Amino acid sequence: MQKTQDYILDYTRLAAQRQYTGLVREHLARTHETPPLALVHSFGCQQNAADGEKLRGMLAEMGYGFTDALEEADFIIYNTCAVRENAEKRVFGTVGALKQYKRQKPGLLIALVGCMTQQQSVADRLKRSYPHVDIVAGADAWASLPERIYQALCQGKRSIKTEGEEPDTIVEGLPTRRAGWPKAWVTVMYGCNNFCSYCIVPYVRGRERSRRPEDILREVEGLVGEGYKDITLLGQNVNSYAGGITFAQLLKEIDAIPGEFRIRFMTSHPKDCTRELLDTMAACRKVSRHLHLPVQSGSDVILERMNRKYTVERYKELIAYAREKMPDLSLTSDIIVGFPGETREDFRQTLDLVQEVGYTALYTFLYSRRGGTKAENFPDPVPPEEKSRWFQELLEVQGRIGEGYMQRQVGSTLRVLVEGPGKGEGKLTSRSDQNIIVEFTGDAGLAGQFAEVEIVSARNWALEGRLIP
Ligand code: 5AD
Ligand code: SF4
């Protein structure tokens, strides 16, 4: 349980870090005629993307400009992901290739932060075998990053995290450079206590800790005031938000903020998804009609071994209740294929569930063994080729279901938020309340506005519409 809030730090009051930020800024102003450029790349989930915006905010305070071109960068920061092994391999490969860049450009700074480098074994490996990497910090590096950058940039010293150096905290008041207008992310809680047996997140993101409701409300009010229209509340498990009020209560308070905007949230764990939350969703006008409720498997045996703490039956009851309250609800889910010990019969039950629920879209993953998790040592007899076949089968089944869902939208009228120009002359891209991409012809000035669109045709991943004047 999250009892006290002594884990919350205020960035604007971290005197030493403010000082380092100032020293870096002075150093850069002295040594550069034009602002040096930083490349910030985030791998993985939306939480990481949101953290990337804060990294940019901190760097902007130090005087950095930004680029997406590797050749132009004076500072490269990779914000890493550890959820699957492939993501880690890719980062090691990418960072390895930076060695020659650094030779050509000796002043280049290279930093790795995030979930992957939170693992001390990874930080140690980078220290030992990747000497061109200057800074290695973890997923909660906020309160140490200015100092690390100062050391690397101004003193020419490597700054590599050591075990226990960066405790679980929440840092309020970080500057943020948002990139997604009219959409914005607002993290409401960090960490995870669930320890699903396949998942590395609780080990790298630490224990659950919630932001204060007043800080969240102030941030959302500010965003609405700045013209943001689509606010996604983020947390590894938003339903266990515990900032003194429940997540459902938090939703109600955000819904009551004046202005026309939309509220989304992710991710919800089925074990904590209460009827109170579903009732609240249904009652709140601004909360979008989309629920991402990862089921992971359609087999009770596998769910038990995944430590998910719900049954297929209970999951289906939740879905039925949600649909009764919100008939136009769009449901999406995560599914892992090839969990250790999963049999063809278990997998068949997953296919059955997917067919029965009728998801709008699925995020499907092949199981990836992660060191330190419970499932690491579970016997895993099914060969990878067989798992790949199952995976393909699931994609095909969902492909048909998704297509059917999209076709059924033809002829309906959807309320969409226009995000900006689409592909093609005069086209706009937008998203419906159900989080479906809708393209239509219209004036570019509509960006950031809500519109009513009649759906005229459907493709696999997007709907085509006609603006209703
Ligand atoms: N292997 C495969 N998929 C995983 N996920 C989490 N850990 C693993 C793993 N070890 C998936 C889950 C989760 C999503 C974010 O990533 O489906 O919901
Ligand atoms: Fe991982 Fe489970 Fe926590 Fe999600 S709820 S982050 S899958 S441990």
CA distance 337 to 394: 9
Whole-number pLDDT of residue 4: 55
Instruction: Read off the DSSP letter of residue 358.
Output: T
Q: Contact, 386 vs 347, CB < 8 A?
A: no
CA distance 352 to 359: 12
Indicate which ligand has the atom closest to the C-alpha of 206. Answer: 2
Indicate which ligand has the atom closest to the C-alpha of 339. Answer: 1
CA distance 254 to 260: 12
Residues 366-419 have pLDDT tens digits of 999 999 999 999 999 999 999 999 999 999 999 999 999 999 999 999 999 999
CA of 398 to the centre of ligand 1 (A): 18
CA of 450 to the centre of ligand 2 (A): 34
Indicate which ligand has the atom closest to the C-alpha of 295. Answer: 1
Q: Look up residue 416 and give its two tokens.
A: 């969409």
Whole-number pLDDT of residue 5: 73
Residues 422-467 have pLDDT tens digits of 988 999 999 999 999 999 999 999 999 999 999 999 998 899 999 9
Residues 345-356 have pLDDT tens digits of 999 999 999 999
Kindly tell me if the per-residue pLDDT of 143 is higher than 90: no
Whole-number pLDDT of residue 166: 82
Q: Contact, 451 vs 418, CB < 8 A?
A: yes
Backbone angles phi, psi at 464, to 5 degrees: -110, 130
Residues 316-345 have pLDDT tens digits of 999 999 999 999 999 999 999 999 999 999
CA of 237 to the centre of ligand 2 (A): 7
| Residue whose CA lies nearest to ligand 2 atom number 4 | 236
Whole-number pLDDT of residue 460: 83
CA distance 296 to 364: 9
Going from the C-alpha of 383 to that of each of 8, 163, 256, 299, 367, the distances in angstroms are 46, 36, 52, 20, 12
Whole-number pLDDT of residue 323: 98
Indicate whether residue 368 lines ligand 1 (CB < 6 A): yes
Residues 94-107 have pLDDT tens digits of 999 999 989 999 89
In this prediction, what percent of the chain has a pLDDT beyond 70? 99
Strand order in the sheet with 290-292: 290-292, 330-337, 361-366
**Ligand 2: which atom is nearest the Cα of residue 195?**
8
CA of 453 to the centre of ligand 1 (A): 35
CA distance 253 to 246: 11
CA of 208 to the centre of ligand 1 (A): 18
Residues in contact with ligand 2 by the CB-under-6-Å rule are 192, 194-196, 199, 201-202, 236-237, 269
Q: What is the 3-state secondary structure (H, E, C) of 370-437?
A: CCCCHHHHCCCCCCHHHHHHHHHHHHHHHHHHHHHHHHHCCCCEEEEEEEEECCCCCEEEEEECCCCE
**Ligand 1: which atom is nearest the Cα of residue 375?**
10
Share the mean pLDDT of the chain.
96
What residue type is 126 in one-letter code?
L
Strands 183-187 and 170-172, by their bridges, are: unpaired
Q: Is 130 helix (H, G, I), strand (E, B) or coil?
A: coil
Rounded average pLDDT over 250-264? 98
Q: Contact, 464 vs 439, CB < 8 A?
A: yes
Backbone angles phi, psi at 445, to 5 degrees: -65, -10
CA of 432 to the centre of ligand 1 (A): 27
**Ligand 1: which atom is nearest the Cα of residue 366?**
2
Residues 60-106 have pLDDT tens digits of 999 999 999 999 999 999 999 999 999 999 999 999 999 998 999 98
CA 405 to chain centre: 25
Kindly tell me if the per-residue pLDDT of 2 is higher than 60: no
Rounded average pLDDT over 359-370? 97
Pocket test for ligand 2, best of 196, 239, 309 (most atoms within 8 A of CB): 196
CA of 334 to the centre of ligand 1 (A): 8
Whole-number pLDDT of residue 1: 46
CA of 422 to the centre of ligand 2 (A): 34
Rounded average pLDDT over 125-135? 97
| Residue whose CA lies nearest to ligand 1 atom number 17 | 334
| Residue whose CA lies nearest to ligand 1 atom number 18 | 334
CA of 332 to the centre of ligand 1 (A): 15
**Ligand 1: which atom is nearest the Cα of residue 368?**
1
Strands 427-432 and 37-42, by their bridges, are: unpaired
| Residue whose CA lies nearest to ligand 2 atom number 5 | 194
Residues 285-319 have pLDDT tens digits of 999 999 999 999 999 999 999 999 999 999 999 99
Whole-number pLDDT of residue 165: 84
